[in-house]
Amino acid sequence: NAGVTQTPKFRVLKTGQSMTLLCAQDMNHEYMYWYRQDPGMGLRLIHYSVGEGTTAKGEVPDGYNVSRLKKQNFLLGLESAAPSQTSVYFCASQQIDGYTFGSGTRLTVV
């Protein structure tokens, strides 16, 4: 039982490049979330999904898109990366109580 798996773990992008972060969970959870973590700012919700085929905006959605085509996968896309998107990105899933987090993706945009 792997829980929540994020790929890749590290990535360096040039400004303007695009990429997709993949989150996969094997716990059959309905709810999935993407957060970014920046020093002194805690966790900020980017987008979330309450089930397959659904997505919704969190508190900092600009510059990101998401898709949930399959229940187990939640993809986070950056269409045109900016240095302000340098951060650590965490995916999480939950069923009823408590989140299970992935190990994070450290993204640097230069």
Note the residues at the interface with another protein (CB under 8 A): 30-31, 33, 40-43, 45, 48, 50, 56, 58, 90, 92, 94, 97-104
Concatenating the DSSP letter of every residue in the chain gives ---EEEE-SEEEE-TT--EEEEEEESS--SEEEEEEE-TTS-EEEEEEESSTT--EE-SS-TT-EEE-SSTTEEEEEESS--GGG-EEEEEEEESSS--EE---EEEEE-
Output 72 or 94, the one with its CB closest to another protein: 94
C-beta of 50: minimal distance to another protein in Å? Answer: 5
Output 41 or 110, the one with its CB closest to another protein: 41
C-beta of 43: minimal distance to another protein in Å? Answer: 4
Output 58 or 63, the one with its CB closest to another protein: 58
